Amino acid sequence: MTEPQRRIGCIGVVVHPSRNIDAPLDRLRTWAQDRGADVVQVEVPGQHRVVAHPGEVGACDLIVSIGGDGTMLAAIRAAVAAELPVLGVSCGSLGVLTAVTASALRVALDRFGAGDWTPRVLPALGVARPDGPDLFALNDLGIVRNGIGQVRVTASVDGVLYNRLAGDGCIVSTVLGSSAYSLAAGGPLLTPGTDAYLLTPLSTHGGSKQALVLGARSELALEVTAGMGGARLEIDGQLAAADPSALTIRLRPDVATLVAFADDEPLFSSLRRRGIIADSPRIVADDGRAAPAPVTEPA
C-alpha cells in the first residue's frame, strides 16, 4: 500500500552531534535545491551542532534524521507534536530505526515524494507523575539507582500488586525498545506489531526478577524509594528527572510515524547482522566444519 504523492517544500533535519555527516547532508541539500525545497534545522534538546538555518517543525513536510538510532529518537520526539513522518538516514551501519544509507538517500526522498512508502506507526509509553508534567517514551523508561544504596520499586498492574524489587532499578519498554536496554538486561524480544509492553528488572538483591509482558490496555503503577545515592528517571536514554517517587504508565498507540519501504531490512536480520542476536557457538562451529575448504592455487 502506497501513500498519496506530496510536494516537499521544506525538510527539517536532525543530525548526530559528532559523526561525519557530510555525504548525506550534501545529498540532502542537493536534492532539495534541485526541487526548490528548503532545508532547516529542527531544534532538539542538547543539540549544539549547526548545519542549517533554524526552522519550526510545524513548517516542515518531512523530518530527516542523519545519524544513528539515538539521533532518530530525538528526531521522532521533535516530530510528534506536528504529526510529521521521519526518515532515518544511517551514518554507520543500519540500526532498528534508520531506514536507508547515505548513498540511498536521494532515491528514498524520490520514493517518499512519489508516495512509494509505508507509514511505520509507533506506540509510546505515557508516563504520569504526581510531581511533574506528563512524559512519553518511544523506546523505554528506566528507573536506575544513582549511587550507593539500592532502589526499591513496587510494581502494581491494574491495581494489583505484582512484585517488589530492591536493586539497581527496572526498565519499562515498548515493543520497539524491547531490542534495546531491556534486551541487554535479559528481557524478552517482542516482535513488531505485538500489542504489549514490558517491565524488566535490573540486577536485584534476591527475590524473583522475571520480566513481565503487559497487555496494551493494562496500567502499570510504580512506587519508588531511593537509597542513599538517590535514583534517576531516564526517558529514551536521557535524564528526565531525579528521585522519581511514583509513575503511572500506559501504552499510547499510534504516537509517531516513520518512513518505511517495502524492501527494508527485517528486524531479526538487522539484529543478527549487528551481533545482538547470535547463534549458539556449537552451531557456528558445525557451520565452519561443513564449509568447503578454500581452493589454493599452485605456486
Distance in angstroms (rounded) separating the CA atoms of residues 242 and 246: 12
Distance in angstroms (rounded) separating the CA atoms of residues 112 and 295: 46
What are the Cα distances from residue 64, in Å, to 111, 155, 267? 14, 38, 21
32, three cell numbers? 532539495
Distance in angstroms (rounded) separating the CA atoms of residues 219 and 113: 39
Helix (H) / strand (E) element for 164: namely strand 160-167
- Dihedrals phi, psi of 158, to nearest 5 degrees: 50, 40
Helix (H) / strand (E) element for 297: namely none
- Candidate list 22, 26, 34, 69, residue with the active-site label: 69
- Chain centroid to Cα 201, Å, comes to 19
Distance in angstroms (rounded) separating the CA atoms of residues 28 and 66: 10
What are the Cα distances from residue 122, in Å, to 83, 139, 238? 12, 10, 19
Contacts of 165 (CB under 8 A, 6+ apart): 151, 152, 153, 154, 155, 201, 204, 207, 209
Active site residue 195: no
- DSSP readout, 169-210? EEEEE-TGGGGTHHHHTTPPPPPTT-SEEEEEE-SBSSS---
Active site residues: 69
